[in-house]
Chains A and B, each alone.
Chain A
Amino acid sequence: MTLSLRGVVVRKGGFTLSADFEIPAEGVTVVFGPSGSGKSTLLSTIAGLCKLEAGRIEFKNRVLENVATRVRTPAHDRGIGLVFQDARLFPHLTVKGNLEYAERRRPAARNAPIAVEIARRLEFDHLLSRPVRNLSGGERGRVALARAIVSAPELLLLDEPFAALDSRRRRDYLTLLRDLSREQGVPMMVVTHHIDDAAELANHVVAVRGGQVVGHGAAADVMATADFASMLDRRDLGARLPASAIGGRNAEGVWVRADSVLLASEEPRGISARHIWKGAVAGIAHEPDGSVLVSLATEAGYISSRITPEALADLRLEVGATAWAVVKAHAL
């Protein structure tokens, strides 16, 4: 059970997207990359809104599109839902009317939550009878997500679903997405350029840059590559730890920024920081800005820390040396 894109080429205006990857059709796949890299085009292509110029797309052993054999399943027959970044609610219908639009077109055999139920989960049941023009950006996003879930797709694609949300709602929304994916058994592909969201949600990652898919696979593997690091802002450099490493959080993983990690050459004592990992120095990289990135192999996984060249000299760190990584709980 996979989603596979083989030799896919899509041209849209002057932009070309090439993709060749396969991911399991389960859990949450994060499509990660800088803006303008082709993440949205990738989703549109899978949904059937952009025509392939070459290649083929298969989902759960079903050919959705194959240029060589001139097979093309139109978007409305793919059973793939897409939540657009700009919500795209239907202006001639009420909030409830928008949900019912999806409900009426859902195949009888597909199970899905009742519209009112999902509205309550997403905290907009008091808006059901409203026309959509009066909704705020965040409300629109939640209605659009509910509409897509009510239609019971076999794969749900979400384009930057957190863009219009404040940080508190963002957290709720992340949790909710993971719960929904699990409860409904609906695999999801989520576009984001936010590294924390990516680490928190992703079981798998597809990394996109400059119209090319540059990496794909399990989140732990892809997010540890140099290619992946090269897409990040300097301040976002760091490492992904599995959620189990910090205990108890309802997430897949957590992104630990190198800027928020202290290094110690002896075991720290009498310190307020909640997370201390012992490890061996696995790599030392001198950055163009003069700082030094030290990578530590710990029990929890790789952790990196940004330190000054002076600190490196003081601690006498070299590859293979033992060191402790220290992280404040609030930095996670």
Chain B
Amino acid sequence: MVRAMLSAEELQILSTSLGVAGRAVLFSLPVAIAFAWALSRPRFPGKAVLDTIAHLPLVLPPVLVGYLLLLGLGVQSPIGAWLKSSFGIQLALTREGAAVATAVMAFPLMVRAIRLSFEATEPGLFEAASVLRAGPWDRFWSMTLPLAWPGVLAGAVTAFAAGLGEFGAVITFASNVEGETQTLPLAINAALNSPGRDDEAFRLASISLVAAIVGLVLAEALQRWARRRLEA
């Protein structure tokens, strides 16, 4: 049905968007879980710094995030050059690069959702696990993650939905390369900036809107379902 409604070009753009947002979630999820776990601990030295780092993309202009990524990971930068020479990985101007930019922007959303669910778990359950001989790592895998997974899931889906719409950081770091980095918002922007492509822009905007709404509804439904399963 989707195939009948969309042109080949639109399908290509949609699949680029889904691919970029999906990769972005994959890249940031493990890091977000680690940050969220650390931030859910009671006081420790450096907590404020960690908290600031996690929330920075929320307040920085996206263009600045893209620019910083270009400085840090672009082909000219030491890390970028090393990635290219050692692994043949180039981030700037590629889909992976678009995903990294999206991942950084979606990071605070994920950390927030996951941290809240870590903080909501009953600490008494961890005591119960430890008197059954579960050590700290064991407790993390057997208790912390399974108990928090509605939040992890919600964070991932929300980040995915938000990732579909990331513009500033992507266009600055990965640029607008058709078929490679041209996601929905980049395509909408391109259509709006060329004369006589208003219809195209409107169709792309509608697709974007539907995708975002589906994502949000899905996140909500998944979370509610998972909560019900865990309710004691």
- List residues of B (200-231) whose CB comes within 8 Å of A's CBs: 229-231
* Closest CB in chain A relative to B134 CB, distance in Å: 6
The reply on A91 being an interface residue by CB < 8 A is yes
Chain A residues within 8 Å of B68, by CB: none
Which residues, 31 to 52 on A, are CB-close (under 8 Å) to B?
44, 47-49
Shortest CB-to-CB span from A232 to chain B, Å, is 31
In the assembled complex, the CB of B132 is this many whole angstroms from the nearest CB of chain A, namely 5
Looking at the complex, which one of A74, A132, A147 makes contact with B130 (CB distance below 8 Å)? A74
A237 an interface residue at 8 Å Cβ cutoff?
Answer: no
Look across to chain B and name the residue whose beta carbon is closest to the beta carbon of A150. B132
CB pair B231–A81 under 8 Å, yes or no, is no
Give the docked Cα–Cα distance between A77 and B131 (Å): 8
A75 to chain B, nearest CB (A): 4
Assess whether B142 is interfacial by the CB under 8 Å rule.
yes
Instruction: Flag if A88 contacts B133 (CB, 8 Å).
Output: no
Separation of A252 and B208 alpha carbons in the complex (Å): 75
Q: Mark B120-149, 1 if CB is under 8 A from A, else 0.
A: 001011011111111100100011001100
Are the CB atoms of B146 and A92 closer together than 8 Å? yes
Measured in the bound complex, the distance between the Cα atoms of B131 and A151 in whole Å is: 9
A62 to B131: give the CA distance in the assembly, Å.
17
Most central of A48, A92, A107 by chain B CB within 10 Å: A92
Chain B neighbourhood of A74, CB < 8 A: 130, 135
Number of interface residues of A (CB under 8 A): 32
Residues of B within 8 A of A131 (CB): 229
Which chain A residues lie closer than 8 Å to B135 at the CB level?
A: 74, 76-77
A101 touches B125 (CB 8 A): no
A275 interfacial contact with B, CB 8 Å: no
B128 touches A133 (CB 8 A): no
Q: Are B125 and A88 in contact (CB under 8 A)?
A: yes
Q: Could you list 7 A-B pairs, sorted by A, with CB under 8 Å?
A: A44-B127, A75-B130, A76-B132, A76-B134, A80-B131, A88-B124, A92-B230
4 tightest A-B contacts by CB?
A91-B232, A88-B128, A105-B133, A75-B130
Please report A residues at the B interface, Cβ cutoff 8 Å. Answer: 44, 47-49, 74-82, 84, 86, 88-92, 101-102, 105-107, 131-133, 147-148, 151, 153
Chain B contact residues, CB within 8 Å of chain A: 122, 124-125, 127-135, 138, 142-143, 146-147, 229-232
